[in-house]
Structures are given as C-alpha cells and as structure tokens.
Copies of this chain bind each other. A is one copy, B any other.
C-alpha cells in the first residue's frame, strides 16, 4: 500500500493519495490536481475514487478536475445535495487494490461530513488509518459555527457524538489523518504533528479531556472568523467549480500597463516581504506577503476585477498563482515584469511605509498623535498579551472598520510578527492615511526585546 499526505501550504490543507496495486483514491483533492496525477504516473496507478469528507469552505475542491481526466467516481456525504458525484452512507465500502475504504458519517463540522476508514485486507480486518476530514484534528476538532449561532450547540452535539461514538472506538492504535494541519483557518488549536493516532489524541487533545457538557458548551460557543470568500467556496463546491485544466499563466506587464489597468480598477497585490513593501511600493497597492496569501487574500481580494502581482524578482510566481486559484480567484491577470524594479526604473512615483523596530516604537510611546492598531486575531491577542493602548481591529475587518482610526494620527500597526502588520499598514496607505508605520517583529519582537506587555 502507499499513502501520501499532500499538503497545500498556506491553507494547511491535507489531501491524501491512497494507492494499492494499480488503483488509487484521493481524499479531499485541491484544485490544481497535477500533483495527484504525477504520483499516479510514478506508481503505475490510476485514480479510481475521489472522496470529499465534506463540502470544504476554505478552498476549491479538485474532484471534478480529476473526474474530467479519468473515470474516477466522486463520493461525498449524503446530507447535502451536491450537483455532482455520488452520496455515500455509513457502512459503504470501496475497494482500492487490497485496501478497503469505509464510510463513517461524522457530522458536526458540517451536516454531511464523513470520515473514511482504511483497512489493509491483505493483513487484517482491523482499521489501520482513518481520514477524519474536519471532524477530528491533532489537538482540536472542527469548527461548528457554519450554520449560525442558533445551531452551533446542535452542531457541537453532533460533533461530540461523531468523535466519541464513531472515531474513538476505532481504537488507540488507529492513525488519524485529518484534513488540516496547524495554521488552518478551520480550527485555532491544531497542533503541529506530522501524524497522530487515536491513542495520542485521547491522551493529549484538550477537547477529549472534557465531559460531554463541557465539550458542547465549549465548541457550541467558540468564535471563529469567517473570511468572505468562504461563500463562493461553499457554492462552487456544492455546484461544481469551473474547470481549471492548467494553472493559468501570468501576463508580463510593463509599468505603463499596470498603471492603465489600475485606472480601470485592477487590484495590485504586492507579495513582497514587509521590509520590501516598506522601502517602496506602487501607490494604491496592497501588501499580502506570499506566505500569507492563502490566509488573507480571501478577506482582501475581490473576485470581479483583475489582480496584478508584484514581486521583487518574480520568483516562483507559479506557486503564487496556485494559491489564488485554490481560493477561486480566476481573475489573476498578470505581473509587473521582470519585477518591482521595473516600476522605479521607469521613474514612477513610490509610496512608503515606515518600518519600526521595537526601539523606535518605544521612543514614540506617549506621543499623543500615536495611534496603535493591533490587527491580530482576538485569540492571539489574548494569549500573547498586547501593547498598552493598542486599539484592536482584526486584520480581516480592517477595511470595514478603518474609520475608527483618526486620519491625521501617526498610525502604528502591529501583529504577532510583522507580516500581517504590513498588510494592515498597506490598507491604511491605500485608504489615504499618510503617517503609517509597521512594527517589524510585531508582538514577538517587542516581547523578545524586553518591552512591557499588557496581559490583562
């Protein structure tokens, strides 16, 4: 048998390639599917089944993309009326070579969520692995807030039942393969483990130490951010997303073409690092460093006007395009070529953000014109503490709440490390604020440099 976890960085999304003999199944494929075909070719296998553990909200699923190139069957939970594929039910089994994949309905995260058990029948009838989707993670469990506040406790109850009645009874020695790793927006507490097991989770997952009531209470009232792009993902994954075929190529644009496109409404996304954006950028562009595209493009980028990418040296932009297409952004139009320098070599005007290190910020504390904005998640803020007097606006909400910040202030944005702070600073700049700084290092640098932290 062959099982390989295929991670989509940024999304912290796990898909799985499962093969035996000359057959293969994919669990929760992403939209750019070449990686699965490449594995299949290398192993003389053919993809015959695709499982969707649930209608994912955070990325476009690749099931139809695979089915377009094979005869693979698409299988998903029965509690949603998908426009494609085949609904499956508790106890259904499917054969991949000598492997038997079995369906467990495990609602809670969503109503139609399923888990998939794996038995190697050549060895035993015991379950060896279970693919838990967003039901059970290493260190956490799926969020239960997608049906609204009213139903959150109901969903949490389903989840508790699914975990305790369906998953834990599989036995301590069963390997748990969830749909997300640490860093996903689908749960805050996922631990960074390459693999885990039922036994390990029973001993170490805090949720599994709770009583039924505690669990339902906790998960039933947990708060999560909801990026606006989730709507499109849910619709597309239910009805079938447009086929991608190949990852799109970027048009190579000149500074003049970028200027013209911006006049027509194009969005310019600068994927450079915070210091690079600070040291000069195209006025009106926003900064989303490449490592944060999966997490924040869905808050800040629109689907209806072309997106133009700015990088220092246009390195590995193919992966950047993938990040966008995974979120359904098929409006990626081009890049400034051969990189940001094309802009300044053309003598075009620049805008700047001030980079502050902790010492500079210390020097400004007490300055009445200083307005500190903390753009972290509320969870991170509560856990790590904050800088005194920092006004909290979560980065994803900043476009809507930016007017809370006085226009003539010296704005200092910070986050945990300095990257999200730079995104925030770019939003202020784009909104016309003039004195905008970003704290390089964010709360971590601030703390490491020995500055006072408010942990109340």
Residues of A near any B CB (own CB < 8 A): 1-3, 22-23, 34, 37, 40-41, 44-46, 69-71, 120, 122-124, 126, 128-129, 138-139, 171-175, 191-204, 245-246, 248-254, 272-281, 290-291, 312-318, 334, 337-341, 344-350, 352-353, 355, 357-359, 417-419, 440-442, 444-450
Contacts and interface: CB of A to CB of B under 8 A. Distances in A.
A71 to B, nearest CB: 8
Given A120-B191, A315-B315, A344-B357, 16 more contacts: A22-B337, A44-B314, A45-B252, A124-B204, A128-B195, A129-B195, A172-B173, A173-B173, A245-B246, A272-B275, A272-B276, A279-B353, A315-B316, A348-B357, A350-B355, A350-B357
Given A272-B312, A273-B341, A444-B345, A123 B204 contact: yes
A142 B218 CA distance: 47
B273 A312 contact: yes
A248 B3 CA distance: 24
A197 B273 CA distance: 42
Contacts of A345: 417-418, 441-442, 444-445, 448
Contact of A277 (B34, B200, B279, B338): B279
Nearest to A447: B347
A245 B247 CA distance: 10
The residue among A175, A198, A279, A358 with the most chain B CB atoms within 10 A of its own CB is: A279
Contact of A441 (B203, B312, B339, B344): B344
Contact of A193 (B120, B139, B417): B120
A132 B392 CA distance: 50
Nearest to A203: B126
A315 B191 CA distance: 26
The residue among A194, A275, A277 with the most chain B CB atoms within 10 A of its own CB is: A275
Given A45-B252, A69-B248, A202-B173, A440 B273 contact: no
A41 to B, nearest CB: 6
| Copies of this subunit | 4
A350 B312 contact: no
Contact of A276 (B2, B44, B312, B357): B312
30 contacts: A34-B246, A40-B249, A40-B252, A46-B251, A120-B191, A128-B196, A128-B200, A172-B173, A173-B173, A173-B202, A174-B199, A272-B275, A273-B276, A273-B312, A273-B313, A274-B341, A275-B344, A277-B279, A278-B279, A279-B355, A280-B355, A316-B316, A341-B418, A344-B357, A344-B440, A344-B441, A346-B444, A347-B441, A347-B450, A350-B357
Contacts of A353: 279
Contacts of A276: 272-273, 275-276, 279, 312
Contacts of A175: 175, 195, 197
Given A245-B245, A276-B276, A355-B352, A173 B192 contact: no
Nearest to A314: B44
